[in-house]
């Protein structure tokens, strides 16, 4: 597996890592088989999160089989308070059966207000900085679906890595990735298959790895066969042929007519619906075969797709002219 340096962490990580969302639907035996194969294929970076339900527990059991020290281990927390994030950190350590987290990331920082709450004195960032001083956390990162948030974050010294969606459909972060690379901040790419919408995974991954500002891409996997398939682009380093590029661009263009890029320009909703989140959850429901997980997340929202009052204020704001109201009705019908 070809390696890349994860920014200022100086972690020499596999160009293709292990995305930890889909593993929650397999047995612990299959999880162990997958990590054994991941190691065989040269993967040495695992990304999971507190919010991924059984993912940390399954990975922790599997790491007992394959060896925790063979991997750089990254996890995340939604918590923004000092005590809350430390509680999450301790749960992650317990479930992952480890005494350290190589990369602790603040999960899905949605807005500048959310970001400011995170970095405020006595808030979550201070707690994790203290955990880093104590050697429990090695490096600190941030994940988001908001370019506004990460364009602010990369101009600080708070974070060694950023994580953002990037694929043949969602290319809006290319300037952000360039800036991050110039500042020696590692770039972790999530949603490489656009939430499962892109069918040819190999071409999708090859496209991403052509970008030398990307440190590691983390496709989700739920079987040994997917581990083998997803690592192919990381072995030979080949980019796309002209024909492959045309095919991928054609597929991206077709998806682009009814595909949420999660830019957030539709906000604010008149009744408070987090519109991009509805479509993210729906992709887990319809594409990742994570209906139970998506249902739980959907139900936990105070305001959800079914609360749309059909006012239409969101649609003129969408730079992609999506029929957001109809799309929300479709999401609501799944639950």
Q: What's the number of domains the chain is made of?
A: 2
Q: Does 252 fall in a domain?
A: no
Residues 100 and 39 occupy one common structural domain: yes
Q: Does 305 fall in a domain?
A: yes
Residues 242 and 306 occupy one common structural domain: no
Q: 225-263 pLDDT, tens per residue?
A: 999 999 999 999 899 999 999 999 988 887 766 778 766
Residues 193 and 327 occupy one common structural domain: no
Q: Does 192 fall in a domain?
A: yes
Q: Does 85 fall in a domain?
A: yes
Q: Does 202 fall in a domain?
A: yes
Residues 126 and 221 occupy one common structural domain: yes
Q: Which of 86-90, 121-125, 196-200 has the lowest mean pLDDT?
A: 196-200
Residues 184 and 65 occupy one common structural domain: yes
Residues 160 and 12 occupy one common structural domain: yes
Residues 238 and 300 occupy one common structural domain: no
Residues 117 and 212 occupy one common structural domain: yes
pLDDT band at 42 (very low <50, low <70, confident <90, very high): very high
Residue ending a domain, among 247, 262, 286, is: 247
Residue ending a domain, among 247, 264, 297, is: 247
Residue ending a domain, among 228, 247, 266, is: 247
Residues 65 and 193 occupy one common structural domain: yes
Residues 209 and 294 occupy one common structural domain: no
Q: Which CATH number do you get for residue 104?
A: 3.20.20.100
Q: 3-24 pLDDT, tens per residue?
A: 999 999 999 999 999 999 999 9
Q: Does 117 fall in a domain?
A: yes
What is the domain range of residue 22? Answer: 3-247
Residues 191 and 144 occupy one common structural domain: yes
Q: 109-162 pLDDT, tens per residue?
A: 989 999 999 999 999 999 999 999 999 999 999 999 889 999 999 999 999 999
Q: Does 260 fall in a domain?
A: no
Give the whole-angstrom CA distance, residue 83 versus residue 72: 25
Task: Give the count of beta carbons closer than 10 Å to the beta carbon of residue 216.
Answer: 30
pLDDT band at 319 (very low <50, low <70, confident <90, very high): low
Residues 192 and 297 occupy one common structural domain: no
Q: Does 63 fall in a domain?
A: yes
pLDDT band at 290 (very low <50, low <70, confident <90, very high): confident
């Amino acid at each position: 597996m070809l390696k890349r340096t994860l920014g200022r962490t100086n972690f020499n990580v596999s160009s293709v890592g292990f995305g930890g969302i889909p593993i929650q639907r397999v047995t612990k035996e299959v999880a162990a088989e997958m990590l054994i194969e991941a190691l065989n294929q040269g993967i040495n970076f695992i990304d999971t999160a507190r919010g991924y339900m059984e993912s940390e527990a399954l990975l922790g059991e599997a790491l007992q089989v394959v060896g925790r020290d063979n991997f750089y281990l990254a996890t995340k927390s939604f918590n923004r308070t000092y005590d809350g994030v430390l509680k999450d950190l301790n749960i992650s350590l317990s479930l992952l059966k480890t005494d350290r987290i190589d990369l602790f990331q603040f999960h899905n920082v949605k807005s500048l207000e959310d970001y400011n709450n995170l970095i405020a004195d006595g808030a979550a960032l201070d707690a994790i900085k203290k955990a880093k001083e104590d050697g429990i956390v090695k490096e600190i990162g941030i994940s988001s679906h908001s370019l506004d948030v990460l364009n602010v974050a990369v101009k600080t010294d708070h974070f060694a890595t950023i994580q953002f969606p990037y694929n043949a459909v969602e290319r809006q972060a290319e300037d952000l990735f360039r800036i991050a690379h110039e500042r020696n901040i590692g770039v972790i790419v999530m949603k490489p298959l656009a939430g499962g919408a892109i069918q040819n995974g190999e071409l999708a991954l090859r496209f991403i790895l052509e970008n030398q500002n990307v440190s590691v891409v983390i496709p989700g996997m739920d079987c040994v066969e997917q581990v083998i398939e997803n690592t192919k682009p990381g072995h030979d380093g080949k980019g796309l042929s002209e024909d492959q590029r045309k095919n991928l661009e054609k597929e991206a263009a077709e998806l682009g007519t009814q595909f949420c890029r999660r830019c957030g320009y539709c906000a604010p909703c008149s009744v408070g619906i987090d519109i991009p989140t509805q479509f993210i959850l729906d992709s887990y429901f319809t594409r990742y075969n994570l209906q139970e997980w998506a249902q739980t997340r959907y139900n936990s929202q105070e305001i959800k797709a079914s609360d749309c009052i059909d006012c239409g204020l969101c649609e003129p704001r969408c730079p992609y002219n999506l029929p957001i109201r109809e799309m929300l009705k479709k999401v609501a019908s799944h639950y």
